[in-house]
Amino acid sequence: MAKSLSAGKRRMLVDKYLTELSLLAKEICPEAKIEATTETFEDEDGHIRVYPPAGISAEEIEEVEGKIASRCVDILVQDAVSICAAVYD
């Protein structure tokens, strides 16, 4: 579907998903710093970087990573928008 979109509409779709993923990360880990960018590398359309607060447990980091990664896969399958997400500790 997304391959036939104009560049402007595709950019709006990418922005929408970056916002959605940023809000999801904040919902899961409210104290985290979130960066969303449209930097591209190879076939990626954007990036979400999550910086959780100091002292967060490994289990909490795994939860954040898992939920965001799962949504990124859904977005890729649904609209062929590739967003790379990473949690930095």
Give 2-13 pLDDT, tens digit per residue.
457 788 999 999
Its sign, for the CA torsion 65, 67, 73, 78, is negative
Amino acid 3: pLDDT? 53
Domain ranges of the chain: 33-89
Other CB atoms within 10 A of residue 19 CB: 11
> Tens digits of per-residue pLDDT, 13-47?
999 999 999 999 999 999 999 999 998 888 899 99
